[in-house]
Amino acid sequence: MGIKNGTIMIGHIAGDPRLTHSEKTGTPRFYARVGVDHWRREDDGTFTKTDRTFHDLAVRYKAAEAAMDLFKKGDDFIATGRFEKFTDPTTGAEREEFRADTLTPNPVSTRLSIDREPRNGPARQALGADRSQAFERPEQSSPARETATLGR
């Protein structure tokens, strides 16, 4: 299996996100209009903001529901995925959206806390039953030492 190639998008949620479900399959879909700032590196090493572009961003499946709980208008994010063209079923116009495989808050501009509590489910709890001892050296009995003597 090779390494998956994709595009990284760093931006902010520009409009109120919405969660919809496919009429055919019921698949959840998170949608948001997002803004991406573009910068140019100058010869002296500084950066100049050039423009801001806006895009449609979509996430599907379980990640869509998680994103809906996590993001609101104004939040900064990092997403991996790809741009894909599609025909809008409402207008018939060809459009493009960024279909994200992963979507996470940008840790540079967002204060985060990580919940280290075990996730629910007995199988998951059984796998890492006591992770606190994962890196501790097991106790070993030391062999009895004899006293060293010279000349005998």
Burial of residue 15, with CB atoms counted within 10 A of its CB: 0-12 exposed, 13-18 middle, 19 or more buried: middle
What tokens appear for 42 in the block?
A: 């100058």
Burial of residue 13, with CB atoms counted within 10 A of its CB: 0-12 exposed, 13-18 middle, 19 or more buried: buried
**What phi and psi values does residue 107 have, to the nearest 5 degrees?**
-70, -15
Residues of the chain with pLDDT under 50: 152
Give the chain's domains with CATH numbers: 7-111 (2.40.50.140)
pTM above 0.95, yes or no: no
Give pLDDT, residue 148: 54
Longest Cα pair distance anywhere in the chain, in angstroms?
A: 100
User: How many separate helices (H) and strands (E) can be counted in the chain?
Assistant: 2, 6
Give pLDDT, residue 139: 66
Q: What is the CA radius of gyration of the chain?
A: 26
Give pLDDT, residue 7: 94
Residue type, 87: T
